[in-house]
Amino acid sequence: MAQGKSSPVESTWHILKKYHIDEDVGFALPDPLEELPAAYDSWTSIAKNLTKLIEDDQLQAEVEKVPQLSTDDLKGHREQHLGHLALGYIVMAYVWNKGDGDVRTVLPRNIAVPYCELSRKLGLPPILVYADCVLANWKKKDPGGPMTYENMDILFSFPGGDCGKGFFLVSLLVEKAAFSAIKVIPRVFRAVQHQDQDALQKALLDIADHLGKAREVFKIHEHVDPNLFFNVLRIYLSGWKGNPQLPEGRLYEGVWDTPKMFAGGSAGQSSIFQCLDVLLGIEQTAGKGPAAEFLLDMRTYMPPAHQDFLHFLEWSPSVRKFVISTDNAGLHKAYNECVKALVFLRSYHLAIVRKYILDPAKQSRRNDAAKELPEEEQKGTGGTDLMSLLSTVKNTTSQSLLKER
């Protein structure tokens, strides 16, 4: 974060509300709508029956029969988010269909035009992104009950049974748990502004504690089968940027004259951990390496208000520089506890990638040891070499540890 170029430090809750960050669910969409207006029943019918339509080999034909609808009757951001989510599911199912390599390179105008209209209104790309499938794809079974896995469900599903439910809801619950760390940011900035080392030490220790609790929620292995994720769900989350199956991208008929490339939904599109990196002065996006370029690119897949929050953090006083400027051993240790908590989370994420992508890929070829893994099967849904990228991010985090005094 730049020092000497800080924005005014605000001490109240509206420091977050201003950036469309909810006090309860953080970066997630609070209380997403579950039903679109009746005029959009043709979208809803397909989005809620994707698996059956794909099994019956009717999905693509049904999509092509949908009338081209105006998005003007979707009033407010909640209806627009639900429309974007429904169309995102339809688009991914249309291009990948049965996941057997028979892909559609052209998105027909009856879907492409309204999808791109909604994308422009929301400031999101026209592809299913993290802000759709995780942040806006949830409901409570009992509206008055707690926000727990047992009391939640997703709004739309891909083939693969409950695999998608497990993957998206666990990701959302990790977001919610980690958001408790984001809520500490106003206290951090207030402490730096007043040079209150004791208050800053307490705030940093609270952040580290919240991140530890987020790791406890990260129980994807309890809800997602690795083989189902790799062989089914992963396919429907794949984008058309850095994907050998769509080397030129995809044509959005009636919108652009040439194909466009967009990355699929990725945890890199979550604002939470990029915010914590910036807050702590961990320079993930410095330089021009693949990891830095990827993380900067992923910011463009976040809602605009959340991108603005990242910029706000970048222009705020540097927490790291303030900590380094002190001789306070306890403060240095508290800062390092935050960094170590991020390293621990990222190490766990690496283990998840190995279990859910690399190991199933190798297992599927165990009878042909001489055969190399296809390039696309070593990549994440965002079109990246995940192990290399995540290792770089983890190592950069580790290198930010201070020498404790």
Query: How do residues 288-304 score in pLDDT, each as one tens digit?
Result: 788 999 999 999 999 99
Residue 89 is predicted with a pLDDT of 98
- CA dihedral sign, ordered 45, 51, 57, 60: positive
Q: Does 7 have pLDDT greater than 70?
A: no
Out of 15-24, 127-136, 157-166, pick the least confident: 15-24
- CA dihedral sign, ordered 263, 226, 156, 32: negative
CA distance 83 to 160: 23
Query: How do residues 256-286 score in pLDDT, each as one tens digit?
Result: 999 999 999 988 999 999 999 999 999 998 8
Amino acid at 369: A
Q: Does 378 have pLDDT greater than 90?
A: no
CA dihedral 398, 401, 403, 404 (to 10 degrees): -120
Query: How do residues 184-209 score in pLDDT, each as one tens digit?
Result: 999 999 999 999 999 999 999 999 99
pTM of the model: 0.92
Residue 263's CB is within 10 A of a number of other CB atoms, namely 26
Q: Does 394 have pLDDT greater than 60?
A: yes
Of 130, 134, 184, nearest in space to 155 by CA? 134
Amino acid at 52: K
Residue 366 is predicted with a pLDDT of 64
Kindly report the average pLDDT of the chain as a whole number.
Answer: 91
Query: How do residues 114-141 score in pLDDT, each as one tens digit?
Result: 999 999 999 999 999 999 999 999 999 9
Of 73, 89, 63, nearest in space to 36 by CA? 73
Place of tokens 């052209």: 106
CA distance 22 to 357: 33
Q: What is the DSSP secondary structure assignment for residue 38, as one 8-state letter? A: G
Secondary structure (3-state) at 139 = strand
